């Protein structure tokens, strides 16, 4: 069984999506997978998010499925019951990390400081989400984190785009990048799947 972080490292990019309709999320999952990006993070921010996550999980689409914006232990437990591949949080708390450990549900916890990193590593977690990348000068921060935390690996999100994608990918402590530019809300709403397909092909890691 390939661990979620190893799969993300191979794919290189994690599309972060806010669900509008269940039907569109299923079509998006199919489009991503068909165009070399077989993973998706659906943020738990809209009324249709959980239904969309359940629908993708129950479908025959072979995709690495994450639930995003998991900020409390109750939601984490719900995602464990649904059977998502991993959860993503914007921040980090001891309670959330402990709940993830006890449920054996992989988590990509959000960090933005050395203290956050140390807390995660105290729980045996070395793969983390750096957030919000655009607000914390993430490129410089990641470079400064490498000497004291060489084993820590990050997925920067919240400010990563086509303009700075390659700069992040070149850093030794970045195993993946995440963002919404790969599947913008307006393209999803307008059913512009051909445009999303082209974005996937343009941004995927060369193999």
Residue 147, judged by CB atoms within 10 A of its CB (0-12, 13-18, 19+), counts as exposed
Q: Retrieve residue 36's tokens.
A: 């070399």
Helix intervals (H) in 123-184:
138-145, 165-169
CA 45 to chain centre: 14
With contact defined as beta carbons under 8 Å apart, do 88 and 108 qualify?
yes
User: Cα–Cα distances in Å, from 112 out to 76, 136, 172, 185, 187?
Assistant: 21, 8, 18, 26, 30
Cα angle 25, 30, 31; round to 5:
95
The residue with tokens 């990348």 is: 133
* Dihedral of alpha carbons 164, 174, 12, 160, sign: negative
List, by residue number, the catalytic residues.
Answer: 41, 129
């Amino acid at each position: 069984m390939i661990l979620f972080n190893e799969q993300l490292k191979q794919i290189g990019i994690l599309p972060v999506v806010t669900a509008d309709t269940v039907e569109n999320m299923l079509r998006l999952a199919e489009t991503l997978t068909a165009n070399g990006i077989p993973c998706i993070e659906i943020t738990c921010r809209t009324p249709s998010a959980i239904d969309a996550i359940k629908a993708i999980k129950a479908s025959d689409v072979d995709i690495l499925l994450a639930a995003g914006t998991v900020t409390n232990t109750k939601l984490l437990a719900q995602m464990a019951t649904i059977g998502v591949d991993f959860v993503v949080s914007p921040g980090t708390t001891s309670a959330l990390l402990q709940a993830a450990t006890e449920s054996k549900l992989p988590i990509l916890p959000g960090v933005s400081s050395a203290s956050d990193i140390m807390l995660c590593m105290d729980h045996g977690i070395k793969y983390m989400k750096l957030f919000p990348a655009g607000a914390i000068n993430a490129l410089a921060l990641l470079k400064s984190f490498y000497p004291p935390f060489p084993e820590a690996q990050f997925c920067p999100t919240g400010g990563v785009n086509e303009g700075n994608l390659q700069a992040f990918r070149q850093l030794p402590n970045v195993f993946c990048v995440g963002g919404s530019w790969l599947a913008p809300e307006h393209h999803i709403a307008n059913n512009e799947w051909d445009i999303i397909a082209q974005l996937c092909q343009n941004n995927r890691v060369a193999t």
